[in-house]
Amino acid sequence: MANLIVTPQSVPGEDGSVLKITPESAGWDYVGFEVFKLTAGQTLSRATGDQEACLVLVSGKADLSTNESSWSGIGERMNVFEQIPPYSVYVPSGDSYTVTALTELELAVCLAPGRGGRQARLIAPQQVGVEHRGSGNMARLVHNILPESEPADSLLVVEVFTPGGHWSSYPPHKHDRDCLPEESLLEETYYYHTNPVQGFAIQRVYTDDRSLDETLTVGDSQAVLVPKGYHPVSAPPGYDVYYLNVMAGPTRTWKFYNDPAHAWLMPPQPVK
């Protein structure tokens, strides 16, 4: 199994690449994830091939075009911890995209298998579902960028802000069995930022039989692979934690299963 923590390059490549996860490097089948840090005026061009892509402007502004569409001057969030929803662009398989940075730009490229036939589209901040999930020290802010209610072939994309001293992806849940309607099989990546930048998050990834049981200390700009198992996150006091999740699997639905030992932490469901 691959190392669960992926550390970015200290110096961007010629194309601005600082972090790259492929199915081959992760040892799985569906999810790819890349991060680019572009300087103002720098351009990135890619063909999607047999993958669909969701381009998330983590911070900064850009012009962006695909084979048939273009958008100028998109981007509003200059620091991820402004906590406003991002601009994103969905690009189907069989297409291509060109991104030209207008400012310093942090661009996340979320990838999964595509079937083609869809149209590229802008996902503006007002189209992002904003959700306050959990209560007490399990409360966090969720931005549903590309949920299953919006069209795509494989990708599910969401970002989460966890205040210092809080927990998220909690109570511990998993989605590693293809046994709907109880649970869906979804590979997942977490891409982190911390505020202040010297902070860290704690993430545990574990299975019922403990054949996988790792507790990870994750720093700013690192990514975590979740190939299977439960995967709760803790933000230490004094440090707010952001992560961008990419999920994909054989069926595009998020159906999770709570760790029975901790399911009592879930709020009671209303009686219908």
Residue 233: name the closest of 154, 110, 140, 156 by CA.
Answer: 140
Average pLDDT of span 198-202: 98
Tokens of 99: 């991104």
Q: Residue 206: pLDDT band by 50, 70, 90 thresholds?
A: very high
Give the mean pLDDT of the chain.
95
d(CA 240, CA 162): 6
The confidence score (pLDDT) of residue 105 equals 98
As its CATH architecture, domain 5-262 has Sandwich (2.60)
Residue 270 above 60 pLDDT?
A: no
- pLDDT per residue as tens digits for the range 64-95: 999 999 999 999 999 999 999 999 999 999 99
- 25: enclosing H helix or E strand: helix 23-26
**Tokens representing 44?**
């990135």
As a whole number, mean pLDDT of residues 226-241 equals 98
3-state SS, 159-172, equals: EEEECCCCEECCCC
Contact assessment for residue 87 and residue 126, using Cβ atoms and an 8 Å cutoff = no
Burial class (CB in 10 A: 0-12, 13-18, 19+), 97: buried
Beta bridge partners of 19: 35
- Compute φ and ψ for 138, nearest 5 degrees: -110, 5
pLDDT at 268: 63
Tens of pLDDT, residue by residue over 97-156, are 999 999 999 999 999 999 988 999 999 999 999 999 999 999 999 999 999 999 999 999
Spans of all domains in the chain: 5-262
> Across the strands, what pairs with 144?
129, 158
Query: Does a cis peptide bond (omega within 30 degrees of 0) precede residue 181?
Result: yes
